[in-house]
Amino acid sequence: MRLGFVPGFDYGLASEGEAMRRREVVSLLAAMGAGLPGFARGEARLPRIGLLGSQPLQPIRSFKAKLSALGHVEGGNLAFAEKWAQGRDDRYPALAAELAALPADVVVAWGTPAALAAKRASTSIPTVFVAGDAVNTGVVSNLARPEANVTGVIAINVQLEEKRLDLLKEVVPNLRRVAVLANSLNPLNTINLETTHRVARDLALAIEVFEVRSSAEIGAALQRLIESRPDAALLASDILLLSNRKQIAETMAAHRIPAIYPFREYRDSGGFIIYGANISVLFERAAEYVDRILKGAKPGSLPVQQATAFELIVNLKAAAGLGLRVPSAVQVRADEVIE
C-alpha cells in the first residue's frame, strides 16, 4: 500500500501545531496500512485457497472454472496453494498442517480422509469439503448446522451401494460372488461395507473385500482379487482408487471381470458400468460456497448440501469385451450409453 498526499493538507512550512497534525495524519495512515496483508512489502496479498486431495483431476478444474465464473480469477484476485497426497492418504495430516501454517484463507478438501485432516488442522480456517458422507464419518455432527468452520457437499455414497449391487445383478447372469476393492484408511469404507454386506445378504450374494492403504498396494490387491475368481466387482467410493482408475479398469477388462464404478471419471478408462453423483457438479456447488465465504459468510451458517442427481453410464463396448449383453431395460434408464 502506498501512502499518497492527503487532500487539502499543506506540505509547505508548517507551524508547530500544523506539524503535530501532520504527524497524526501520517501515523493514522500507517496504522491503517499495517493491518492490511502485504503492507510490509508494499502490496496486498491475494486471498489464498488451499486445495487438498489426492490428485488434481477434472473436478478440480471444474471447481476453478466455476470460481472464475463467479469473479475469482487465479493470479488476478485469487491464489491457490495445492497439496496433493498422490495416492497416500497417510500424508493428509501433514499436508493439511502446511495449509494451516501458510495460512490459507479457505481450505477445499476432496474426500473423507482429506476433510478430516483439514478439520483437525485448524478450528478457525473455513473448510469446504466434497466427500461421500459427513455425519457418519465424523466430518460434521449435523448437516443443517455443521461445525463452526466446516461445511461442504456430499455424494451420499453410502445409500448408493444397494443400487450398485442391484445393477450388477441385472447385468451379470447367475451373479453369486462379488469382490469389493476398498481403501482401508478411508472411514467411509467402514460405513459403505456395512451397507454392502447387509444388501448382499438380502440378494443372496457373497462378498469378499480386498483392501489397500496406498497406491503402491493396488497391484497386489488386484492380483488377489483376480485369483479369487469373482463373478463381478464393486469399486468403493474412494479418491485414492479413483487416482488409479486406469490401472484398475484395465485390469478388470483384461481378466473379464464385470465391475461397477462410482465416478464418471472411470468412463474414459473403459469402465463397464458407472453409477453415482457427478463429482464435477458437486465441486461447482463447493465453489459457490467458497464464493460466499470470501464475501463474508460463516461456514457454520451454510448447511451441508447433498447430491440430488445421479447418473448411470453404460459402456456397451466394454460389455462386448466381457462377453455380456446389457439388458435393454438398463440401457433405457442410462443417462449415457457408450456404443
Task: For 318-327, write each residue's pLDDT tens digit.
Answer: 999 999 999 9
20-24, 193-197, 217-221, 270-274: the lowest-pLDDT one: 20-24
Question: How much of the chain exceeds pLDDT 90, in percent?
Answer: 84
Residue pair 127/139 in contact (Cβ under 8 Å)? The answer is no
The more confidently predicted of residues 107 and 159 is: 107
pLDDT band at 159 (very low <50, low <70, confident <90, very high): confident
Report the half-sphere exposure of 81 (CA within 13 A, side-chain side).
18
- The yes-or-no verdict on residue 224 having pLDDT over 60 is yes
pTM, rounded to two decimals: 0.84
Say what the pLDDT of residue 309 is. 86
- Distance (Å, whole) CA 136 – CA 142: 10
Nearest C-alpha neighbor of 253 from the set 263, 243, 261, 265: 261
Is-cis flag, bond preceding 103, omega within 30?
yes
CA distance 59 to 188: 20
Q: With CA atoms as reference, report the closest residue to 45 among 73, 77, 3.
A: 77
Average pLDDT, the chain: 89
The superfamily in CATH containing domain 158-277+310-338 is Response regulator (3.40.50.2300)
Predicted confidence (pLDDT) at residue 208 exceeds the cutoff of 70 = yes
Give residue for cell 476453478: 64
The predicted-structure confidence for 43-85, as pLDDT tens digits, reads as follows 578 999 999 999 999 999 999 999 999 999 999 999 999 999 9
Name the 3-class secondary structure at 281. helix
The radius of gyration of the chain's CA atoms, rounded to the nearest angstrom, is: 26
What H or E segment, with its residue span, contains residue 255? none
- In order of 75, 121, 217, the CA distances from 95 in angstroms are 22, 9, 21
Share of the chain above pLDDT 70, in %: 87
Average pLDDT over residues 98-102: 98
CATH number of 48-156+279-306: 3.40.50.2300
Adjacent-strand bridge partners of 109: 52, 129
Say what the pLDDT of residue 15 is: 43
Half-sphere exposure for 116 (CA within 13 Å, toward CB): 16
**Residue 205 CB neighbour total at 10 angstroms:** 19
The CATH 3.40.50.2300 portion of the chain extends over 48-156+279-306, 158-277+310-338
Given this model, what pLDDT does residue 156 score?
A: 81
